[in-house]
Every structure is written in C-alpha cells, then in structure tokens.
C-alpha cells in the first residue's frame, strides 16, 4: 500500500495536483486527467492529440507535457462512443508495384499513428464488376471515417460516385480526372518526365526510348507528354517506334527492352516510367551482353529502394511516395469542408546507370 507521504512526494516530484500520483499508478489516465493537469479544455486536448491546426504552441506544449507525465494513451473505444467516429480510415489500392504500396502505406500509417487513428488497407481490382460493392462493404464493416484512393482506383468514376453518395470524406493520390471534385495530393508528372528526358538529351543522347506505364494510369500519359515536350524543345523529332507500352512491373520492362533493342537503329538510352520496369530493362541488357551505361543508358522513375539495389544504381526521378501518403492522410484527418490540393516536389537523382553515348 502507498502511504500518504509517498503520494505527496510523488505528486511534488511530478508537479501534479495532490492525489494525482496515486491515480497515475492505480488507474488508467483519462483525457479529463490530461485536461486538468494541463489546465486547458478537453476540446483543446483533443485537438492537440489529433495534430489539428490552430492550436498555440504554448497550449500544445502544456498538453504534451501532461500526456507524458500521465503516460496517457487514448482509448479508441471511448473516442468512438464519444464522437460517433470509428477513428479508422481506409487505404484502397490496385497497384502491381510492391515498393510503391509499401512506401504509401508507411506514409499514411505514420500520420494515422500521430493522430491515434487506424489504417485499414484494402487491395482491389478496378476491372472487377464488384469493385463498388467491395468498397461499400469495407465502409459498412469498418465504419470508416474516410478513404484514401491511390491510382488507378483514384480515377474510377463509379467508385468515386459511391463515396459521394455515402458522403464519405475522400482524398485522392495523383488523380487524373475530376480534379476539383476532392482534395488531392500529387506531383507534376509532366515536368518530372521532361526533366529526365532533358537530362538524357544533355548527355548527348538523341535516340531515347520510353517505356510507358499501364494505360489505366493517367500518370502514364502525363509522363509521355513530358518526354515529348523535352524532345521537341531540343529539336529532336518524335519517333513512335521508340515508345513501348509497359505495365509498371519487372516483366514488362524486360519485354519492352527486348523490343526496343531489336530495332534496326536501337536507342542509346531508355527511360522507363517506373524503377521496376527500369530494373527489367537492365536485366534484359545484361542478358544481351549490352554494357550499362557504356553502350546503353537506363533511367527509371520513383526512386524506390530498388533503384539502389540494382547494378548499376539507377538514375531516376524521386517521387516522394511516403510524403504523398502522409500528406493524403493529413488532408483526410482535417475533416474540413474545403477542397485542398497539395503538390509535392520531385527530384532528378543521377546515379551510375546513365552516361554520355560513346561516339
């Protein structure tokens, strides 16, 4: 049993009101305890815990200190009952690139943990006739507070219409249609592809192959546009034979490289619209005895971990996938009435897979 003297000593050392030390040791702290210790309203505590804006630094510091002293952890069940919210959001995707999905989940998950929300991941197939029903079932079963949609799901009109009908908050990553319909986060795919093509041109390449992404992704067309505008600016004519479709996966990168390198006048550089496809291009070149970058320069897009695992390491466009996920969750958790769009910066990363063409 804890004596009165011990309780008073603990309270004095932790700067808590008399009696609170015993409360900390004997029961789980509540949001009311945090409010009392910090000297602020429960609503202010809630706003700080949810990382909401418009809280003064002084207030935020008081709440954070009280949370640390009390070792306070919000109860999901209590929050749900009090606010008619599940404190769960869904991340819906149909993407063959495991590196992309891993980083997107990491970004969304980090923001959810900061706000004491849970992330529920739902893979889907946009070609499935049951897509809308599957999304509806997810909402009903998990009682989601909102949904983040990644490409290509982000541009499925029937799915978007169902979310509007249900009045479910939604944030889309890299949308290509209905740009003013929802909040969104994105990069400038056109400029990013322009930057990479211009880099290859600056090295002296004039026959530059492009492996486009899956046709279901608007980003594929945007990157083709950036490629074409960089060639035009450099006075290089567009050659459709140098453009080969891909699927954003490794195998399609191999197939595209074989086709491009079998041309009567093959490219001296190949720009693939994802790192996975670029890895496929590298593999095909190695199998054909073509040295990279001495005989062929290879470039990718995304700057996932794969870009530094392959040999030589890939020159690529750094797409801040984790930051996009974090920003999407941040917009969703604001639960605001206004539509907001955030463009994040991309970056050209030059590594050993590109060089000036010999001769």
Find the CATH number of the domain harbouring 50.
1.10.260.40
| Same domain (yes/no): 139, 212 | no
| Same domain (yes/no): 138, 281 | no
At 6 the pLDDT is 45
Alpha-carbon separation of residue 53 from 50, 56, 334 (angstroms): 9, 9, 8
DSSP per-residue string spanning 220-255: HHHHHHHHHHHHHHTTPPP-GGGEEE--SSHHHHHH
| Same domain (yes/no): 47, 91 | no
Domain residues for 34?
A: 4-74
Q: Evaluate whether 187 touches 220 at the Cβ level (below 8 Å).
A: no
Tell me whether residue 201 is in a domain.
yes
pTM: 0.75
Count of other CB atoms within 10 angstroms of residue 125: 11
At 85 the pLDDT is 65
Q: Evaluate whether 45 touches 31 at the Cβ level (below 8 Å).
A: yes
Tell me whether residue 353 is in a domain.
no
Count of other CB atoms within 10 angstroms of residue 307: 25
| Same domain (yes/no): 28, 119 | no
pLDDT digits (tens, 9 = 90+) for 307-350: 999 999 999 999 999 999 999 999 998 877 788 899 999 999 99
End-to-end CA distance of the chain: 86
Tokens coding 41: 């309203």
Domain final position from 54, 74, 94 = 74
Q: Residue 175: exposed, middle, or buried by beta-carbon count in 10 A (0-12, 13-18, 19+)?
A: buried
Tell me whether residue 350 is in a domain.
no
Tell me whether residue 251 is in a domain.
yes
User: Residue 256 CA to chain centroid, in angstroms?
Assistant: 27
- Strands 315-318, 347-349: parallel, antiparallel or unpaired by DSSP? antiparallel
| Same domain (yes/no): 182, 236 | no
Q: Which helix (H) or strand (E) holds 120?
A: strand 118-123
Low-confidence stretches of the chain (pLDDT < 50) are 1-26, 76-83
At 77 the pLDDT is 42
User: Residue 86 CA to chain centroid, in angstroms?
Assistant: 23
- What is the DSSP code (8-state) at residue 153? G
Map residue 303 onto helix, strand or coil. Answer: coil
CATH number at residue 118: 3.40.50.2300
- Strands 269-272, 341-343: parallel, antiparallel or unpaired by DSSP? unpaired
Count of other CB atoms within 10 angstroms of residue 41: 11
Residue 207 φ then ψ, to 5°: -105, 100
Q: Which helix (H) or strand (E) holds 121?
A: strand 118-123
Nearest-angstrom CA–CA distance, 17 and 185:
45
- What is the DSSP code (8-state) at residue 58? H
Do you find a cis peptide bond into 152, omega within 30 degrees of 0? yes
Nearest Cα neighbor of 269 from 297, 289, 290 is 297
């Amino acid at each position: 049993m804890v004596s009165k003297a011990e309780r008073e000593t603990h309270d004095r050392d932790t700067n808590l009101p008399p009696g609170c030390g015993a409360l900390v040791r004997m029961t789980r702290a509540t949001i009311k305890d945090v409010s009392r210790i910090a000297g602020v309203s429960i609503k202010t505590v809630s706003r700080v815990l949810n990382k909401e804006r418009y809280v003064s630094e002084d207030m935020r510091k008081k709440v954070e200190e009280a949370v640390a002293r009390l070792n306070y952890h919000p109860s999901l069940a209590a929050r749900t009952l009090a606010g008619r919210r599940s404190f769960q959001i869904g991340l819906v995707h149909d993407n063959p690139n495991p590196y992309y999905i891993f980083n997107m989940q990491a970004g969304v998950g980090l923001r959810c943990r900061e706000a004491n929300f849970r992330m529920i991941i739902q893979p889907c197939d946009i070609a499935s006739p049951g897509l809308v029903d599957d999304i509806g079932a997810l909402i009903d079963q998990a009682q989601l507070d909102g949904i983040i949609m990644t490409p290509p799901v982000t541009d499925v009109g029937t799915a978007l219409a169902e979310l509007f009908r249900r009045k479910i908050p939604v944030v889309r990553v890299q949308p290509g249609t209905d740009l003013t319909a929802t909040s969104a986060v994105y990069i400038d795919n056109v400029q990013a592809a322009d930057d990479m093509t211009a880099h290859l041109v600056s090295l002296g390449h004039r026959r530059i192959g492009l492996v486009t992404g899956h046709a279901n992704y608007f980003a594929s067309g945007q990157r083709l546009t950036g490629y074409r505008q960089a060639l035009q600016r450099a006075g290089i004519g567009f050659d459709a034979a140098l453009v080969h479709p891909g699927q954003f996966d490794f195998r399609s990168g191999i197939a595209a490289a074989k086709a491009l390198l079998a041309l009567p006048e093959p490219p001296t550089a190949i720009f693939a619209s994802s790192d996975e496809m670029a890895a496929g291009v590298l593999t095909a070149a190695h199998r054909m005895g073509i040295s990279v970058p001495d005989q062929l320069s290879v470039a990718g897009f995304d700057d996932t971990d794969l870009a530094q695992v392959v040999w030589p390491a890939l020159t690529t466009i750094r797409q801040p996938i984790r930051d996009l996920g974090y920003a999407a969750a941040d917009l969703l958790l604001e639960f605001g009435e206004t539509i907001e769009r955030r463009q994040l910066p991309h970056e050209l990363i030059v590594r050993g897979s590109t060089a000036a063409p010999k001769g």
